[in-house]
Amino acid sequence: MSELGHVPWPPEPIRTERLVLREPEARDRTTFAELLASPEVHTYLGGPRPRDVLERELPEVPERWPGSFVVELDGAMIGHILLRRATEHRRPAAVGKADLGYLFLPTAWGHGYAAEACAAALGWFDATLPGEPVVLTTQSANIASTCLAAKLGFSEVERFHAWDAEQWLGMRLPAT
């Protein structure tokens, strides 16, 4: 994965009905460590990283790059949305395309926050890089993620085997 490319960054914070999307700040570091160390969050992502290593190694402002959005509810970070470029994807259909990823704290699951935030991030993407499709790879067994992808307008391109599991590759075509 690499960065999206030349996009104006950071945008003004994006406000939805309940949430704010903004670039990461130093005050998010503890929540990033929590997110990356959570076994629950990483059930389908190859396992969590040790908390003490994260505490030591995370930069002062984690994940600060164009297309990286912290999702905030009532002033506190609840999730991270990643829009990157799939420069070296295993599947030819995805190579070079923008790629969506998302991680939310388990306490924030099941309230529609992920759908609300990802729709806003994709709205930003459509306005910034009009006409581009977006791909998404997730384990087929990750039902919450495949349901969210479908809700966001992603359709299955193919399934393939990688990282010891069946993967689902979806694509969202640009609005016409």
Ligand X SMILES: CC(C)(COP(=O)(O)OP(=O)(O)OC[C@H]1O[C@@H](n2cnc3c(N)ncnc32)[C@H](O)[C@@H]1OP(=O)(O)O)[C@@H](O)C(=O)NCCC(=O)NCCS
Which residues form the interface with ligand X (CB under 6 A)? Answer: 41, 44-45, 101-104, 109-115, 138, 142-145, 147-148, 151
| Shortest reach from residue 36's CB to ligand X, in Å | 11
Output the DSSP codes for 87-117. TT-SSGGGTTSEEEEEEE-GGGTTSSHHHHH
| Shortest reach from residue 34's CB to ligand X, in Å | 12
Closer residue to ligand X in complex, CB, 86/131: 86
Which helix (H) or strand (E) element contains residue 82? strand 76-85
Closer residue to ligand X in complex, CB, 12/164: 164
Closer residue to ligand X in complex, CB, 65/109: 109
d(CA 79, CA 106): 9
| Shortest reach from residue 42's CB to ligand X, in Å | 7
| Shortest reach from residue 28's CB to ligand X, in Å | 16
Closer residue to ligand X in complex, CB, 1/8: 1
Closer residue to ligand X in complex, CB, 60/164: 164
| Shortest reach from residue 99's CB to ligand X, in Å | 9
In contact, 86 and 134? CB cutoff 8 Å:
no
Q: Is 75 exposed, middle or buried (0-12, 13-18, 19+ CB in 10 A)?
A: exposed
Cβ-based neighbours of 53, under 8 Å, separated by 6 or more: none
DSSP annotation of 11: P
Compute the 3-state secondary structure of the chain and give helix, strand, coil in percent, each to the nearest 5. Answer: 30, 30, 40
